[in-house]
Amino acid sequence: MKKCYENGLALYNTDKAMRTKRKFKKITPSRVLTKAVSGIERIATDERFVCLIDYRNTWISNYGRVIIKMDGIYQLLRGSYSQTDKELYYTLEKNVYFKSKKMWGYKKQKIKASALVMQTFIVNYDMQNNTMCWHEGNNKKDNYYKHLYPVTALQYGAIQNIYDESDVVTEQQIMDIVNAVEYKPENWNPWYFRRTYEGVGYLGTDDADYNSDEYNRWKNMIQRCYNKKIHKDKPYYKDKFVCEEWHNFANFRIWYREHMIPGEKVDLDKDLLCKESNMYSPETCVFMTHYLNTVFEDRGIKRTIKETDDGFRVWMMILNKKKDIGIFETKEEAYKGFSSYKEDYISELAESCKGKVQDCVYHAMLNWKVEITE
């Protein structure tokens, strides 16, 4: 292990790809709550309220404000400042799995505004160790996303020392501390931050279980997106990619353990929550049974339209099960009939799955729209 550390450190000192960079996430437009819908005034021209997928009808802004929807009405949620750490906290309802009931439900959770902003808007390369937040100017009432920095406890102390001495800390000084070896957490080992998996993936931890489901899912996800041999057999993965946070296995593991139900046989799906995305990320991915996943794939549901003496007859095939949709006068009506039938089928399926899947999955199924194509 000593040799690994020394070799890793030599690589860390020369490989810029291993350094933490200051980056912000690209927000999918479908997650943004517009003023026209909410009716709530913005405090700045660049303020955006973005949906929190794991919370009930909740949106966080890049300034740390929260909107909730209750009884069909959008309203700003009032938070409270902690006497202990002086941070702003909100009490939200989080969608969690109750093992005793074997059902998904909601549990109240008190969470920092800064944590919600960082989770939504800032690329956090090491969630396992970055447990603190430095606010620009040491102003804990300022939760603007460009003024927040996810850091470790040791890094926070070093930044605080500079601030105490000079009343100011520049972004360059903060990033120098974040990347300095002397301020890395005690268990940090550069050997585990080498981009050894398809040139992008790294473990980010010294306790990875290589036989675990969480590790195999992460490795398969990285391979699907970046392995050229796989792209030859499955070309539809060529334009897919993994978000920067999930290049780190330790980050993916945190999400996996929060969302995976032990013993369930499920697929990692990235298309249901966000049709326009080609990215695997905490914002786009959910676990679904293989059957549910198949319903949303063109490869899973096949349409057959046959011209007969009475008109155009339409069938739908789901996992080799044939469903007769009906006869339509024109081909255009047949296409529309198929799309409408599939949407109704998915809505009924959603109702049968309510409580058995995350609420974000349930709502995405209810709102799923089938494109009318020839």
The single-letter code of the amino acid at 65 is: R
E strands, 130-257, in order: 132-135, 148-151, 241-242
pLDDT-derived band at 374 (thresholds 50, 70, 90) equals low
Distances (CA, A) of 112 to 95, 109, 151, 276: 17, 10, 15, 30
Name which residue leads in pLDDT, 105 or 276. 105
Name the token pair of 11.
């690589």
pLDDT at 219 over 90: yes
CB 76 within 8 A of CB 67: yes
pLDDT average, residue stretch 315-328 = 85
The per-residue pLDDT for range 147-183, each reduced to its tens digit, is 999 999 999 999 999 999 999 999 999 999 999 999 9
Place of tokens 């003024």: 147
Q: Quick check: helix, strand or coil at residue 119? A: helix
- State mean pLDDT over 346-372: 91
Note the pLDDT tens digit of each residue in 53-101: 999 999 999 999 999 999 999 999 999 999 999 999 999 999 999 999 9
**pLDDT for the residue 215:** 98
Other CB atoms closer than 10 Å to residue 14's CB: what's the count? Answer: 8
Whole-model pTM: value is 0.93
Name the maximum alpha-carbon separation found in the chain: 88
The average pLDDT across 311-334 equals: 87
Q: Is the pLDDT confidence value at 17 over 80?
A: yes
Give the separation between CA 171 and CA 147, rounded to whole angstroms: 9
Asked if the model's pLDDT at residue 300 lies above 70, the reply is no
Is it the case that residue 208 has pLDDT exceeding 90? yes
- Return the percentage of the chain with pLDDT > 90, whole number: 80
Select the more confidently predicted residue: 183 or 296. Answer: 183
Residue 7 phi, psi (nearest 5): -65, -40
